[in-house]
Structure 1
Amino acid sequence: MTRPWDKIISEEEQRAYNAAGFGRSSGLGRRPALLIIDVQYRTVGTRPMPFWRAIEEFPTSCGEIGWTAVGNIAKLLDLFRARGWPVLYPYVSPKEAYDAGRLADKVPALMGVAAKGYEFVAEVAPRDKDVLLPKKHPSAFFGTPLASYLIDLGADTIVVTGCTTSGCVRGSVVDGFAYNFRMLVPEDAVYDRSATSHAVNLFDMASKYADVMNTEDAVTALKAID
């Protein structure tokens, strides 16, 4: 089976990881929760567009590749809605001047996003009783009550979707793993403006922190939970 990183991570490097015992599956528990991270118009644009057009609307947009992921997130969301499983939305809230810090030093465009950019993408927008978690930093766990909510919900498995693969997704996966949750990343339900960074980070997460599979396989695995 071809993986997103096969054209970037050499066969020799993959063999080295396998030889060290990395990349084994941790499997799913019995009480999954879905994270939809930063799926706002500022990360995909108000409609599917090629990247260089999309960033004319929102400089922080990942373009049409994000819309492809939105379609896959919707499939997972439909399953979670049907099963009555919890859905949580960690998201970047509008920036105030006092939020600048080092983030503004690194990515000043984040400080000037128009109000529309902070709206949730309608196709996967939250509903009543979903948990909304404004955040200020990449990890959905850092400075938020996410761990407390997950414990209260009795969750043992976290399905992580959204963006960016190399930023908020990865940061949340590493922290979730550190809290001893089982982590699942549907590789085509996360997105990044860099295909290389997307692939390399998926490889690293699959090797060390999460089970990584496509959305179709993730849905199948989740449906098998009693």
Structure 2
Amino acid sequence: MNEDLAAGYRASGFGQGLGCGRSPAVLVVDLVRAYLVDGSPLRAPVEDAVAAAVTLIGAGRAAGLPVLFTRVSYRPGGADGGLFRRKIPALGVFEEGSPLGDFAEGAAPRPGETVVTKQYASSFHGTSLAATLTASGIDTLLICGLTTSGCVRATATDALQHGFRPLVVDEACGDRDRRLHEANLLDLDAKYADVLSLDEALTTIREAASA
């Protein structure tokens, strides 16, 4: 992150840390093939981010934390995508039956793990995610996935607004360009979330497991 901008934010009173609550979970946002397959209109250089997310998922499972997944899916024709589909025609890759909407290799949910299907950027908008988290007593989300400037950012912002602590894991998120990734993480860390390194996130998971 740009240290001058980050320092400017802090000097103006932004960026207070939220920390981890008592009951964290891992939230995996749209870790799907559309971002990894050549020829997809959503193709992005996110292989390293996917690998880091798989590491985070494995650590969460090993520690006994809940791991929840989101994916985008539209009915044929995409009417349920509303203006979002109109704004981004490339989202047509997520129509029912498209293999590009399948989870990335190594990042598929296991039986019994929650999968939230959504039509918009935020994992909370129009879904049961907030109710599921509340019913499970979850107060903190370690967020990874794709893309940083899109669904990860929208999800982290809405998590805060729903009363959950968003901890966004830097290396486990990715975007079409590194500059987009870094700019959005800087702003999230200043206003809406804590941004953690992968090592910090893994330490947080170990501490939660031993508490």
Taking structure 1 as the reference length, the TM-score comes to 0.86
1:218 alignment partner in structure 2: 201
Aligned-pair distance for 1:112?
4.3
Q: Is 1:151–2:143 an aligned residue pair?
A: no
Q: In the aligned structure 2, how far is the partner of 1:100 from the partner of 1:76? A: 30
Q: In the aligned structure 2, how far is the partner of 1:132 from the partner of 1:212? A: 24
Corresponding residue to 2:155 among 172, 178, 187: 172
Structure 1 runs of 4+ aligned residues shifted over 2 Å read: 13-16
Q: In the aligned structure 2, how far is the partner of 1:131 from the partner of 1:197? A: 29
Q: Is 1:108–2:89 an aligned residue pair?
A: yes
SS of the equivalent of 1:137 reads coil
Aligned-pair distance for 1:204?
0.6
1:127 alignment partner in structure 2: 110
SS of the equivalent of 1:76 reads helix
Aligned-pair distance for 1:169?
0.5
Corresponding residue to 1:67 among 32, 47, 51: 47
Q: In the aligned structure 2, how far is the partner of 1:108 from the partner of 1:86? A: 33
Aligned-pair distance for 1:73?
0.9
Corresponding residue to 1:33 among 14, 19, 25: 25
Contact preservation (8 Å) 2:49, 2:174:
yes
Contact preservation (8 Å) 2:63, 2:206:
no
Stretches of structure 2 that go unaligned for 5 or more consecutive residues are none
SS of the equivalent of 1:189 reads strand
Q: Is 1:163–2:163 an aligned residue pair?
A: no
> What CA RMSD, in Å, does the superposition of the two structures yield over aligned residues?
1.6
Aligned-pair distance for 1:104?
2.7
CA distance 1:220–1:119, shift in 2 (3 Å): same
1:49 alignment partner in structure 2: none
Contact preservation (8 Å) 1:165, 1:202:
yes
Aligned-pair distance for 1:36?
0.7
Contact preservation (8 Å) 1:95, 1:111:
no
Aligned-pair distance for 1:139?
0.3
Question: How many residue pairs are counted as aligned between the two chains?
Answer: 206
SS of the equivalent of 2:106 reads helix
SS of the equivalent of 1:224 reads helix
Aligned-pair distance for 1:215?
0.6
SS of the equivalent of 1:149 reads helix
Stretches of structure 1 that go unaligned for 5 or more consecutive residues are 46-53
Identity fraction in percent: 35
1:76-91 alignment, distance < 5 Å: 76-91=56-71
Taking structure 2 as the reference length, the TM-score comes to 0.92
Aligned-pair distance for 1:108?
1.1
Aligned-pair distance for 1:95?
4.5
Aligned-pair distance for 1:107?
1.5
2:177 alignment partner in structure 1: 194
Contact preservation (8 Å) 2:81, 2:120:
no
The farther-off stretch of 19-28 and 169-178 is 19-28
Q: For residues 162-199 of structure 1, what are the alpha-carbon distances to aligned partners after superposition, in whole Å with 9 as ceiling and x for unaligned?
A: 01101110101011001121110110101110222111
Q: For residues 72-111 of structure 1, what are the alpha-carbon distances to aligned partners after superposition, in whole Å with 9 as ceiling and x for unaligned?
A: 1111111111122111111101442123522232211221
* 2:89 aligned partner, one-letter code: P
